Amino acid sequence: MSVRTLNKNIFWLTTSLILLCSSVIILNVWTSTTNHAKKQLEQTLRIAQSVFIQVLASREAELFNSAEVLTADFGFKAAIGSQDAPTIDSALLNQSDRIDADLMILLAPDGLVLNSTTEDLSPAQSFPHQALIERTLLEGGASEIILLNGKLYQTILVAVDVPGAPTIAVIGFEMNRDLLERSKNITLLDTTVKASVGNQLVFSASSLNPLEQQNAIDLNEDVSWLQLSLFTQKGFISRSFLLNKYGEEVVEVVLFEDINSILGDFNQLQIKITLIAFLSVILSILVGAVFSKNLADPLKKLAAIANTISRGSYDKEIVVKSKTTEVKELAESFESMHNNVQEREKRIRYQARHDLLTDLQNRYRISELIDERFSQNHRFQAVGANILGFRGVNDVFGYGNGDLCLIEVAKRFKTLGGEAARLNGGEFIWLPKEPVSLSTLRDIQTELERPIHVDDVVMNIKISLAVLNCPQDCSDTESLLKRLNICLDEARQTRGRLAKYQQEFEARYTRRLSIISELKKALVENNGELSLAYQPKLDLEIGDISHVEALIRWHSSKLGFVPPDEFILIAEQAGLIGSVTDYVIRNTIFDAKRLQDNGLDICIAINLSAKDILNENLLSIINKYLVDIGVNAAQLSFEITESDLVSDPQKAVEVLQKFRDAKFTLAIDDFGTGYSSLAYLKSLPVSHLKIDKSFVLALDSNDSDQQIVKTIIDLAHNFDLGIIAEGVENQSALMMLKTWKCDYVQGYHVARPMPLDKLLPWCKENKDKNWFEI
């Protein structure tokens, strides 16, 4: 089989292009003749416009001459002075007949018609164009085209200087069809004069009938001359121009030229050119058809193959027969592209279903697998996992090590079998092949939490797990992911960080969301839902109240009373604890100012969370509030929960030392329930220990509690620390603590928490009370 090069085929293409170029040249000649005709027509209309304007100028000069003759006539002036109406009318009629004027009127300066030769404006009527009268009186004369009783007049107004009887003479020609016919005799063009007030046409006169006027093309618009010259059914072409504008009265002139008189010969030429071009196109089509068939058939086959590939089918063999070398090479390129696309499609599909960092499946793919299991009514287990505080891992160890942490956790999931996916951040989901027990999950949790070693860095992580059994706990993918998230939220708050889904979790989750939403609202709007209560602390040495503890209270309009133990924890998890602490500190300092103003020397203790302690800006904020409000540092103290100090002990010690340097007293709250060693306790810059109320509530009847409390008091004294006991419920416990040299006590036996308005009178009422009477 002989193979012919593409160059031979291009020869036929070149022949076709030559024919096409010839057609373009012919078309260019055709366009040039049309444009020439257009220019000639425009020139004719412009000349006619100039002639028409000159005709009107000539009439205006005639009016001026007539006005001068009339106003210079002594007899006319004398008649005006004597108000001889017959003589005035006779003079006006004579002058009108002399110049064939259509309008002769004599006006008073106020516009009242004195004499008139026209029925359009009778004596005693008012001349409607007062501005024109004023101009005439000011300048001595004026000329204008005006509308008068539905007719259009070219007018001249001249002031007649008569002593004691100044008047104005109005002389005018009517612009009617007779005028336009005379103009046609000069310009050889038909003319239409239109007058409008505002946008409403009020006058029209034309040398053409209405049908002929409509059968015209406006040259002022964008006209396709190519289309016009061949296919127009119009008899005239028109050009309009503004003749005069007086106030809202607009006078426009339209000139009409017979199209055939200008374009007849050009149209014949264009028809011939069109026939030539048409024949050239037919010839080009015949030549192109032969060429395209030889070239297009194999290309069509390649296009069909490309469509097959685009639909994701890669099995069809590429076989294209062609006598053109270049087409054969193109077919080979298609074969290469087919293989590359097939390989790339596999990669894209894999990447669309997998997490690029961990190589686990992604949310999209695991959702597909879960949908399949639900649709096939399979019973299966879904386990959610979340790396607690993963953002902190990135912040402390850097994002690179954070990624390595995720990769290592993903590897551990892969060893478990089943299907695993990374949802986002530090969240994962695992679908085991067979359901696993809670004890097995705890072992898996331990394995997942093994420290991660990266070079010299050791990352200790904690992972919460949530378990759902399907389809018992949910029936679709969306509810599974939602409830898994709810269960994980519950697991984070559980000691073992492992939770199996229960229906009441959703109610608690919904309540937590409501608490977060309403607490944000209460903090932002400061709507009075939040308040402070103060529980007095009794100084056992002096037998008087010298300290109180500030306790926040929340009475929500939507949720009712929300216990602090509930919403403080949620505020910490939701990142709102900083705003809560700011509210407590700011309002406590205001209340400390009120205590000071009422002559009460009382120190107020404020509770700080772990996040508050790690806030480097907190101390400067507190000092600013103290300065702005005018309160001494001695009127504030702070209590820190023992377990909160363990998260970052070195940082906590540094921050607490800054508080001590600022002259604040510090106490460890709930002492005895945490995990601190004595060596760590010794390093803390605190001044007091506060015994947890769980050891004090039954102090008078529980020997073990007595032994623990007495030991803590002795320990504190050995470390030169003050001691506070909370939860004192009776006099016996109070006396025991006094005997053991406890420094302060608080509890319901001393007083319940109360707002400041009640604390002030309470302190005064109990100032001289003997607290140690039995």
Helix (H) or strand (E) holding 639: strand 636-641
For residues 617 and 207, the model is more confident at 617
Q: What are phi and psi of 480, to 5 degrees?
A: -60, -50
pLDDT of 489 reads 85
* Higher per-residue pLDDT: 282 or 535: 535
pLDDT tens-digit map of 130-170: 888 888 888 878 888 888 887 888 888 888 877 766 788 88
Distance CA 688, CA 722 (A): 4
> What pLDDT does residue 70 have?
73
Single-letter amino acid code for the residue at 556: S
Residue owning tokens 């402390």 = 396
At residue 322 the predicted structure's pLDDT band, cuts being 50, 70 and 90, is low
Q: What is the pLDDT of residue 510?
A: 85
Across the strands, what pairs with 606?
638
241 has pLDDT over 60: yes
Per-residue 3-state assignment (H helix, E strand, C coil) for 384-437:
EEEECCHHHHHHHHCHHHHHHHHHHHHHHHHCCCCEEEEEECCEEEEECCCCCC
What pLDDT shows up at residue 9? 58
Q: Which two tokens stand for residue 479?
A: 């509810």
pLDDT tens digits for range 101-127: 878 888 888 888 888 887 777 887 888
Of 469 and 643, the structure prediction assigns the larger pLDDT to: 469
Which of 260-274, 296-310, 392-406, 429-443 has the highest average model confidence (pLDDT)? 429-443
Residue 224 pLDDT > 60: no
Flag the least confident range among 66-70, 217-221, 252-256: 217-221
pLDDT digits (tens, 9 = 90+) for 441-470: 999 999 998 998 888 888 888 899 999 999
Q: Is the pTM of this model over 0.75?
A: no
320 pLDDT band, cuts 50/70/90, is low
Provide, rounded to the nearest whole percent, the portion of the chain with pLDDT above 90.
Answer: 32
- What pLDDT is recorded for position 7? 47
Confidence (pLDDT) at 754: 95
The answer to whether residues 26 and 277 touch, using CB atoms and an 8 Å cutoff, is: yes
> Measuring CA to CA, how many Å separate 713 from each of 584, 707, 741?
30, 10, 8
The pLDDT, as a whole number, for residue 725 is: 94
Exposed e or buried b for every residue in 40-73, given b needs 16+ CB within 10 A? ebeebbeebbeebeebbeebbebbeebbeebbeb
Q: Which residues contact 16 (CB under 8 A, 6 or more apart)?
A: 284, 287, 288, 291
pLDDT exceeds 80 at position 21: no
Q: Please, where are the H alpha helices in 149-258?
A: 177-187, 210-214, 225-231
How confident is the model over 554-579, as pLDDT tens digits? Answer: 999 999 999 998 898 888 878 899 99
Confidence of residue 227 (pLDDT cuts 50, 70, 90): very low
pLDDT given at position 50: 81
Closest listed residue to residue 622, CA positions, set 571, 664, 593:
664
Q: Is the pLDDT of residue 362 over 80?
A: yes
Mean pLDDT, residues 307-327: 65
The mean pLDDT of 520-546, rounded to a whole number, is 93
Distance of alpha carbon 52 from its chain centroid, rounded? 61
Q: Higher pLDDT residue, 83 or 463?
A: 463
Could you give the CA distance from residue 772 to residue 684 in angstroms, rounded to a whole number?
Answer: 33
Residue 643's pLDDT is: 64
Whether the pLDDT of residue 1 is over 60: the answer is no
The structure tokens listed for 128 are 């409607």
Greater confidence (640 vs 223) lies with: 640
Name, in order, each residue with C-beta under 8 angstroms of 214's C-beta and a sequence gap of 6 or more: none
pLDDT, position 221 = 59
Please check the confidence at residue 553 and state whether its pLDDT lies above 50: yes
Collapsing DSSP states into helix, strand and coil, what is residue 250? strand
Is residue 230 within 8 Å of 274, Cβ to Cβ?
A: yes
Task: Evaluate if residue 319 carries a pLDDT over 70.
Answer: no
- In terms of average pLDDT, the best of 183-192, 331-340, 543-552 is 543-552
Give the pLDDT score at 742.
95
Q: Which of 41, 401, 84 has its CA nearest to residue 236? A: 41
Reported as a pLDDT band with limits 50, 70 and 90, residue 315 is: low
